[in-house]
Amino acid sequence: MIVPMRKLSLLIFHKDYQAFLEGLREKGVVHVHEDRKRSAEDEELKRKFMALKRIAELSKMFAKREGGEDAAFVAAWRRAETSREKLAVCRNLFGTGEDGATVEGDGMAVVDYWENVLARRGQIDQEEVALRKDAAVYAPWGKIPGERLAALREAGWTVRFYSVEEKKFRDEWTERFNAFVVCAERGMVYFITVQPESDEETPDADLVRFPTLAPAEIDARISGLQEERERLERNLDKAAFVMIDFLKALKTQVLEESDMLKVKDASACLLDDKVVVLEGWVPEHLAAELDSWLAEQEVAYELTKPTPEDNPPVLLKNNRFARLFEALGALYSLPSYRELDLTPFFAPFFVLFFGFCLGDAGYGLLILLALTLAKRKVAPSLRPVCSLGQWLGLGTVVMGTVSGTFFGIGLMDVQIPWLERFKSIMLDSSRLFNLSLMIGAVQIVFGMCLKVVNLWRQFGFAAALSTIGWLVAILGGGLCYWLTTRGVNAEVVTYVVLAVAGLLVFVLNNLRRNVVVNIGAGLWDTYNMVTGLLGDVLSYIRLFALGISGSVLGLVFNDLAVNMSGDIPVLKQVIMLVILLFGHGVNLFMSGLGAFVHPMRLTFVEFYKNSGFEGGGKKYNPLRRR
């Protein structure tokens, strides 16, 4: 369900504004209204968001390095109180990186420092690549005798270095240009020519131009860069222990500053900027406590119910089971404030659909047991995810039993005495196909019933008449057909159902319009409804198809394990186990992915559409101390 909200309107004297916001943040219950146009604060807010991104990236890097802390650094860091002192600790111990902003209290200066360290590490990599390219130029020539070359030049000879493809090298160059082949490798020939300075004719080859640095200088620089990189890596490892906690605290600080900027940006000033106007929202069950606190403050305020023009934020409150599925619903959109929260209504169907798609009781039992054990060891924030997985595993066990599949084994063909009592609930493929269509029809009709409630709540009973007419046609028509199959003459009932449905769909679909316009709209609605319902129901065939495909793949891997394991004792069992583990692991992953995605598709498309879901709600996010 959606928690009712109360609108809070405030008038605050400008000198008391900052202190009041701090108190309001301590209460942590007011969602500040943010529909006003952004002001000059917007640029500052963008900088805060960019800072959060930088902090997140740096946190990920340090998280991979935790465990190599340096005692001296940790001790010096903990003695430092301000950001300037912490920055000085980094400089003194490590002596690397360029200074960023050094304003006292600005924690981003430390972020700047480490970003510059990482940037320097990137520069080292680039410089080393360039130097190794220069070293590669010297490689084919070996040790070049610089003194002898200089002596030749003084004697009036020109020595040139060339490279050419092996197929293009000409033997005649030996006599014509006084060429000497130094080496031939990888399809290239490297040679030199020794010619008089007056001889300007050269061979048709690429002239080699050597780097400005000598080979020994290049090697020395590469060694220096490698030592610097290793030092930077050690420094990053040493700092990881304290930087992880520092960045968490800095992230919280930046988030709180962002919250305050949003609040300031949402406020307006009156009476020559002496009075500040602020609006917000507070959950109804917390309004009385906030009212008592506001009465003690020197502010003028009013707590009222939202008007139809207001757009309050959305806070969901569901039972323990439905709460697990709120995150799934939020992947699509939160409901608008005035419509139904569909989470508790699609949650049971989602468990059923997941089990239908995965369709193997063995897989479901494996998921259930694994998450039950993991739930005891994971962080509290991940326990709801494990609980959700437990429900999905349980649904898979139930639907896997119905389909009669256990790790790819067809339970209908297994002759075990205690299993016989369960075979009465197992369905073959044709009945599973029909079951998928029946479940789809039930969910769609259920969604239409919720649409009636939604329209009634938001726009009044008259707005729901057309949908009621379609429900009368579908449910009444189904009842008449059932009576006919039982030998009951339902002709009169059929006419009554058609008359009532036709009146609601074609005449009363909009009481504010002309009857002729309503009939035309009803005909168009009929075309869309008939074609849409048919397509929606057929979409649920995917439940049957995914379940069958997973079962068949499991059966295939079982056959491969039996037929490809050979006849050698012990080795046969090992090969069989490897094939089974690999095959069922792949099948569980692929089938599990499909079993999660396709029920979401059925929920967000077929169910939401037939429920009249609008969405677009904004999450309740109160100003609070983080």
Tokens 């502010």 locate to 299
For residue 207, what is the DSSP state? E
Q: Summarize pLDDT for 11-41 with one digit per residue, the tens.
A: 887 677 778 778 888 888 888 876 555 544 5
Domain ranges of the chain: 137-216, 319-419+540-608
> pLDDT at position 364, please?
92
For residue 37, what is the DSSP state? P
Of the candidates 29, 33, 31, the residue with the CA atom closest to the CA atom of residue 286: 29
SS3 320: helix
Query: Which two structure tokens, joined as six digits, stand for 91?
Result: 């400089």
The CA-CA-CA angle for residues 248, 253, 257, to 5°, reads 145
Q: Summarize pLDDT for 452-477 with one digit per residue, the tens.
A: 998 888 888 888 888 888 888 888 88
Of the candidates 363, 351, 420, 296, the residue with the CA atom closest to the CA atom of residue 591: 363
Q: Summarize pLDDT for 76-103 with one digit per residue, the tens.
A: 777 777 777 777 877 776 664 444 444 3
Task: Mention every residue, 6+ apart, whose C-beta is less than 8 A from residue 320.
Answer: none
Contact 492, 472 (CB under 8 A): no
Query: Which two structure tokens, joined as six digits, stand for 411?
Result: 């339970």
> pLDDT at position 270, please?
54
Question: Does residue 119 carry a pLDDT above 50?
Answer: yes
Query: Which two structure tokens, joined as six digits, stand for 564?
Result: 């490809």
d(CA 604, CA 350): 11
- pTM of the prediction? 0.71
Alpha-carbon separation of residue 326 from 1, 323, 330 (angstroms): 11, 5, 6
Largest CA distance in the chain: 124
Contact 299, 275 (CB under 8 A): no
Question: Does residue 440 carry a pLDDT above 70?
Answer: yes
Query: Which two structure tokens, joined as six digits, stand for 557?
Result: 């891997």
Alpha-carbon separation of residue 309 from 305, 312, 534 (angstroms): 11, 10, 37
Residue type, 219: D
Alpha-carbon separation of residue 460 from 389, 454, 510, 516, 529 (angstroms): 39, 9, 12, 23, 22
Number of H helices, E strands in the chain: 21, 11
Alpha-carbon separation of residue 59 from 63, 115, 241, 250, 251 (angstroms): 6, 11, 11, 11, 10
> pLDDT at position 93, please?
63
